[in-house]
Amino acid sequence: MKSAKQQLEQLRREAYKAKHGKEVHRFFESEMKVKSPRTAAQLESLICEYIELSGGVCTKVTTSGRRIVNKTPVKDVTGRQRTLIEDKWVPGTTTPGTSDLIASIPGVKGAVYIEVKMPGDRMRETQVKFQQKVVARGFKYMIAESLEDVVDLI
C-alpha cells in the first residue's frame, strides 16, 4: 500500500496529465514531490490539496480578523507632502475554537471539521468546546497531526 505522500504525488501527476494532456516532464518532476510539512499551515495546505485532488471540497477557516490601514496626506512644517498611516485591527467574527479546515469528502456524509495540530501541540479550551458541539450535533470532527490521518478517512 502506498504512503499518503506517494498517493498525493500520484494525484498531482494525474492532475497535471488531465490539465496538460501529457505526462510530467522530468524538469517538473521535483514539483510533484511532497515535502514534509514543518508548520501547521504547511500541513493544512497538503491536507486541502489531497482532499481537492480526491474530488472533495476543502476550505481554510481564518479566525484572526483583519487589518485596516487609514492613510491621510498632510504637509509637514517644511511644506513637504507626507502620509500619516493609522493601523486598526478589527477582530474576526468566526466562532472561537472553529476548526482549521472544513471539508466535504466524497463518500462521507455531511461536513468534516478538521483541526490541524503538529505533533505535540495541544487544543485550546475553546477548540475542545467547539469539538464537543460539533460531535454532539452528529457531525464528523477529527484532529489531524499528519496527512496520513486524513488519507485514512478517505
Flag whether 135 is in a domain. yes
Flag whether 104 is in a domain. yes
Give the pLDDT confidence score for residue 27 in this predicted structure. Answer: 77
Q: Which domain holds residue 119?
A: 36-64+93-153
Give the pLDDT confidence score for residue 133 in this predicted structure. Answer: 95
Flag whether 76 is in a domain. no
Flag whether 110 is in a domain. yes
Give the pLDDT confidence score for residue 64 in this predicted structure. Answer: 77
pTM (2 decimals)? 0.79
Model pLDDT for residues 79-88, shown as the tens digit of each residue: 899 998 888 8
Across the range 106-127, mean pLDDT stands at 91
Flag whether 20 is in a domain. no
Model pLDDT for residues 20-60, shown as the tens digit of each residue: 888 887 777 888 888 889 999 999 999 999 999 999 999 99
The residue behind cell 470532527 is 141
Residues 54 and 76: their CA atoms lie apart, in Å, by 59
- CATH code for the domain of 104: 3.40.1350.10
Burial class (CB in 10 A: 0-12, 13-18, 19+), 92: middle
Flag whether 127 is in a domain. yes
Burial class (CB in 10 A: 0-12, 13-18, 19+), 32: middle
Total count of domains within the chain: 1
The grid cell for 127 is: 477548540
Provide the mean pLDDT of the chain.
89
The grid cell for 34 is: 511532497
Flag whether 146 is in a domain. yes
